[in-house]
């Protein structure tokens, strides 16, 4: 790994050990709040984001930081996504964490002009560190990996219905259920993208495409040889997070087959 990868890993690990793991299954009631329906935030989200924002600013002075909680407090922060910036999800899988269950993780990405150039995904329970740089491959704990399918028929497909309309849910049942083994999502992008490349899931379909959830994972999966893209085949951009619809797959062939069924 490069010196920067080592630095980011150490920062993520330190943040998890200091603020996250000691509070896992030990949150007090006043340490959890709701930002909106089905959208909790905890003291851990805020502490980890504050620490990483300060650390990354020291690491690269002048590079903007777009953190999930900062953007919630001030949507103007999102304007930085069109230029060079760090993107932070301080506690991906907050709902899981608040309920005392796994998975959860930390996600950091570096983007420039709307495109992700590097990404890092850390699972503190497994101590699993995924990272990728554009054009340089995808890695797990320093070992280069190649995306592999589950090898199952029908392909294993994780689809969230949380943000789907009733009509979209009916379309899932009509178009996808007969051809895929539908499974629940882990409610954690830091887990879902590794599942796609490491042989556990073949497809994930996402309705919300927020930069802190997907910037690192999309790059990592594509660098591993899988495929993540918009339904129309266009690349994911961090500065288009209001644009719905994103599909990740363990191989380009499986991606193509799935999207053909969705758009038929």
Lookup: tokens for 253:
């062939």
What per-residue confidence (pLDDT) applies to 244? 85
Q: What is the pLDDT of residue 66?
A: 98
Q: Where are the domains of the chain?
A: 3-144, 156-263
Question: Which helix (H) or strand (E) segment is 208 a member of?
Answer: none
State both tokens at 58.
């020291």
* CATH code, 3-144: 3.30.540.10
pLDDT score, position 176 = 86
**Residue 165: what pLDDT?**
76
What per-residue confidence (pLDDT) applies to 263? 86
Structure token digits, residue 186: 């882990």
What is the CATH architecture of 156-263? 3-Layer(aba) Sandwich (3.40)
Contact 90, 48 (CB under 8 A): yes
64 close to 80: Cβ distance less than 8 angstroms: yes
Mind listing the pLDDT tens digit of every residue in the chain (264 residues)? Answer: 799 999 999 999 999 999 999 999 999 999 999 987 778 999 999 999 999 999 999 999 999 999 999 999 999 999 999 999 999 999 999 999 999 999 999 999 999 999 999 999 999 999 999 999 999 999 999 999 999 999 999 999 998 777 777 887 888 787 888 899 999 899 999 999 999 999 999 999 998 899 999 999 999 999 999 999 999 999 999 999 888 889 999 999 999 999 999 887
**C-alpha span between 245 and 162 (Å, rounded):** 13
Residues 6+ apart with CB under 8 A from 199: 148, 149, 150, 151, 250
């Amino acid at each position: 790994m490069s010196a920067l990868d080592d630095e980011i890993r150490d920062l993520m690990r330190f943040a998890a050990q200091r603020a996250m793991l000691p509070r896992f299954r030990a949150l007090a009631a006043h340490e959890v709040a709701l930002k909106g329906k089905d959208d909790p935030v905890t003291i851990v989200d805020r502490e980890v984001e504050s620490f990483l924002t300060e650390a990354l600013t020291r690491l690269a002075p002048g590079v903007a930081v777009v953190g999930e909680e900062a953007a919630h407090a001030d949507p103007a922060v999102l304007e930085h996504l069109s230029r060079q910036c760090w993107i932070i999800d301080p506690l991906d899988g907050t709902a899981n964490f608040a309920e005392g269950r796994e998975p959860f993780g930390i996600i950091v990405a570096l983007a420039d002009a709307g495109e992700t150039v590097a990404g890092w995904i850390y699972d503190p329970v497994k101590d699993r560190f995924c990272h990728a740089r554009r054009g340089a491959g995808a890695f797990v704990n320093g070992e280069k990996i190649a995306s592999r399918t589950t090898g199952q028929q029908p392909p294993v497909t994780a689809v969230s219905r949380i943000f789907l309309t009733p009509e979209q849910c009916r379309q899932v049942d009509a178009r996808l259920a007969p051809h895929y083994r539908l499974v629940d999502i882990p409610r954690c992008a830091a887990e879902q993208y590794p599942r796609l490349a490491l042989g556990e899931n073949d497809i994930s379909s996402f309705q919300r495409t927020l930069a802190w959830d997907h910037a690192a994972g999309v790059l990592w999966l594509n660098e591993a040889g899988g495929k993540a893209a918009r339904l129309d085949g266009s690349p994911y951009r961090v500065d288009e997070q209001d644009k719905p619809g994103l599909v990740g797959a363990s191989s380009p062939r499986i991606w193509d087959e799935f999207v053909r069924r969705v758009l038929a």
